Amino acid sequence: DVLIHLAAITSLPECEINKTECIDVNVTGTVNVLEACKTVGVQNIIFASTSAIYENNDATQNAFSEDLNTSPRLFYSLSKKMAEEACISYRENYDLNVCILRFFNVVGPNQDILRKSPPLLNYLVREFINNRIPKVHSDGKQSRDYITVFDLNNLFSEIIKLEKFPKDTFNVASSKTISVNEMISLVKDQLKTNLDVE
């Protein structure tokens, strides 16, 4: 009835190092999924995109709007933008109901802290539990919006229940930002560590 496409290479450094694999998995893989859905008659598709496509948009804006023009240049965000375009093509050319969700920073239990280049939260946890001092860039005042995997699951359920499946693109965020410094403080409190960051 509904296909939720979450598969992708999401590590920015890995996508920059292995550009061909990034495009193969994130773009060609998405086209394969869309083509399979068209072939077997699955009309309703949720595609997981990313807020990273806004990487070159003006960061001083308080909110990113889905109708902004985007021009990502890093291979992860570029591949997700290309996959979005493929989704739009299947919407328009084959009348598939493709709902594109641009996830902001997803957090939840069982995240991979051992990954070579983990996201900030995972990195902080990994370093602190191994008694190492994390290195952060800049002054730590930059902030991000985080959303939990539980909220995403609830959103999937709500979309699936809709009488008319949305053929549109949506930002998926909490609308609350947390600075790097606040995240450091939260992690230190939870892990009860006195280590600081460099």
Taking the C-alpha atoms of residue 80 and residue 3, their distance in angstroms, rounded to an integer, is 18
Strand order from edge to edge, sheet including 105-107: 105-107, 143-148, 177-179
Q: Work out whether the CA dihedral 75, 33, 66, 175 comes out positive or negative.
A: negative
Catalytic residue among 54, 76, 90, 146: 76
Per-residue b or e along 163-180, where b marks 16 or more CB atoms closer than 10 Å to that residue's CB:
eebebebebbbeeeebeb
Taking the C-alpha atoms of residue 148 and residue 151, their distance in angstroms, rounded to an integer, is 5
Q: What are residue 187's phi and psi, to 5 degrees?
A: -65, -45
Q: Please check whether residue 64 is in contact with residue 74, taking contact to mean a CB–CB distance below 8 angstroms.
A: no
Active site includes 146? Answer: no
Catalytic residues: 76
